[in-house]
A and B are shown apart, each in its own frame.
Chain A
Amino acid sequence: AQTVTQSQPEMSVQEAETVTLSCTYDTSESDYYLFWYKQPPSRQMILVIRQEAYKQQNATENRFSVNFQKAAKSFSLKISDSQLGDAAMYFCAYRITSGTYKYIFGTGTRLKVLA
């Protein structure tokens, strides 16, 4: 069975600095999708970035980028030039590529941004 692990329950970063959130997963499949979702206090689940496993190039969305290491089954999120609005829970998710295509989520990392 697939699992997603986020080993950092909480992280802090100074405004304008860079922070990296870690995520590891376990799967026997070769093709899959990985996602990072942001959940602010409003509870809304906001898609931050996604990575296709068959693509070697790391995905980038403005200040957000990933370091995807397929062999190590690692999928970390880097936030550059952190802003106060980045404070939220961040969830890593894996999407299975057969059957129901459901997401499997990690337990989340709470990011605090210090002014």
Chain B
Amino acid sequence: NAGVMQNPRHLVRRRGQEARLRCSPMKGHSHVYWYRQLPEEGLKFMVYLQKENIIDESGMPKERFSAEFPKEGPSILRIQQVVRGDSAAYFCASSPQQAKRSPLHFGNGTRLTVT
């Protein structure tokens, strides 16, 4: 059973470009979380999605950031008009159901560098 797959592993964008980060949850998992990790910091919650629904986006900046988890295909975190402050590692995690006893399984993250 493959784990949570994130791609690309590294992404370099120039200021003003768009960044698209992909996350394929573990098989059978229908809940996806996105976290951001700035250098030398912990992971900060961004958004929580279920298939075709955004459940909680309280940690996501109101502008330039969006996320989706379509019925078919991976979850996508999109950052428009990137700025240097967006440089960070972005982690996706999935769980089989929304329950406190279901642990989150993390992907290996995408490191975004904005030049």
A-facing mask of B83-108, CB < 8 A → 1, else 0?
Answer: 00000010101010011111110101
Instruction: Report the bound CA distance from A26 to B48 in whole Å.
Output: 22
Whether B89 pairs with A43 at a CB distance below 8 angstroms is yes
- Shortest beta-carbon distance, B70 to chain A, in Å? 20
- CB nearest neighbor in A for B41: A107
Contacts of B56 in A (CB 8 A): 99-100, 102
Whether A101 pairs with B99 at a CB distance below 8 angstroms is yes
Cβ-based interface call for A84 (8 A): no
Contacts of A101 in B (CB 8 A): 95, 98-100, 102
What is the size, in residues, of chain B's interface with A at 8 Å between Cβ atoms? 26
Interface centre among B48, B55, B100, B103 (most CB of A within 10 A): B100
- CB nearest neighbor in A for B42: A105
If A33-B100, A43-B109 touch, whether A105 touches B33 (CB-CB below 8 Å) is no
- Shortest beta-carbon distance, B3 to chain A, in Å? 9
Whether A91 pairs with B42 at a CB distance below 8 angstroms is yes
- CB nearest neighbor in B for A99: B56
Contacts of B48 in A (CB 8 A): 100, 102
Cβ-based interface call for A44 (8 A): yes
Whether A105 pairs with B43 at a CB distance below 8 angstroms is yes
- CB nearest neighbor in B for A4: B42
- CB nearest neighbor in A for B59: A102
Cβ-based interface call for B44 (8 A): yes
User: Can you give 20 contacting A-B residue pairs, CB < 8 Å?
Assistant: A32-B100, A35-B103, A43-B89, A44-B106, A44-B109, A45-B91, A45-B106, A45-B109, A50-B103, A91-B42, A100-B55, A100-B98, A101-B95, A101-B100, A101-B102, A102-B48, A103-B43, A105-B42, A106-B42, A108-B40
